[in-house]
Amino acid sequence: MIELTRGPIEYNALTERVRRAHCGAVVTFLGTVRDLTGDRTTVALDYEAYPGMAEKKMAEIEADTRARWPVGDIALVHRLGRLDVGEISVAVAVSCPHRQQAFEACRHAIDRLKELVPIWKKENWADGSTEWVHPNAECGNKASAQSE
Amino acid sequence: MQTIQVHVFARFRDVFGTDVVEIILPQPATVRELRAAVVLSKAEISGLLARSQVAVNNEFAGDDALVCAGDEIALIPPVSGG
C-alpha cells in the first residue's frame, strides 16, 4: 500500500500490517526530522506534494520492489504539512522470507522514493528564515541529507 | 496559439505567487518551447528550471514531448521528500 497523510504515521500498525506467516523478516525504515543540518538549526519542516503524481510514483516503486524481491507485503507512507523536530516524515515497511531480501527491498524503496517522488520540504531555520530544499544532483546538497 | 496551465510547486510557487501559471504557446508546442516561455515570463527561475523536470499527465517528459492545452502539465523542481 502507499499513502500520503497529514496525520502522524502509525509505524507500529504499519509494521504489523506487512507481517506474513511465510516472511521471517520485517524491515521498517523511519525518516525523522533532524535538528541540525551542517551548522544550521531546524525548528520545523513543511512538506508538500504534487499529490496525484506522487501517489503514482509511489505505486510504481511498490510494484518495482515487488518485482525484484520476494515481498510478502510492503507499505510506503509519506507525511505532508508541518513537522516538528523528531517527528516521522516517511515510513517504509517490508516483509520478505529472509532478512537480506527485506533489508535490500526496504533500502531500494526508500532510495527510489527520495529520488523520484514529487515531494518537497521547506526548512524553517532557527533564525526565522525559510528555504525550499531543491538538491543539486551534481554536487550534492547538504540539506538533501535531511531525515536520513 | 494555446493557453497552457502549468502547476508549480515549492520554490516555483513562491516565485510565481500562485499554484497555476498560464503560458501561451503556439500549437503544437514542445516541452522545450514551454521551458523557454516559462523563463521569459520569470527570468530569475532559469537556474532552477534548468535543474527541473517537466511532467505531462503525471509522467516525466523529455524536451521533445508535445504539450497540449488539455494535458496536465507541471514543473517538478529537484525533489526533497524523505
pLDDT surpasses 80 at A108:
yes
> If you average pLDDT over residues B26-43, what whole number do you get?
94
ipTM of the complex: 0.95
A138 falls in which pLDDT band (50, 70, 90)?
low
CB contact under 8 A, A113 and B82: yes
CB contact under 8 A, A89 and B79: no
Q: Is the pLDDT of residue A141 over 60?
A: no
Distance CA A68, CA B58 (A): 24
A-B contacts (CB, under 8 Å): 80
Please state, in angstroms and rounded to a whole number, the distance separating the CA atoms of residues A117 and A136: 16
Question: Does the predicted model carry a pTM greater than 0.90?
Answer: yes
- A148 has pLDDT over 60: no
Say how far apart CA B13 and CA B23 lie, in whole Å: 15
Residue with cell 524503496: A109
pLDDT of residue A72: 98
Chain B residues with CB-CB distance to A90 below 8 A = 81-82
Report yes or no: B14 at the A interface, CB cutoff 8 Å.
yes
> Per the CB < 8 Å rule, is A50 touching B74?
yes
**A27 alpha carbon, distance to own chain's centre:** 13
SS3 content of chain A, % helix, strand, coil (to 5): 30, 35, 30
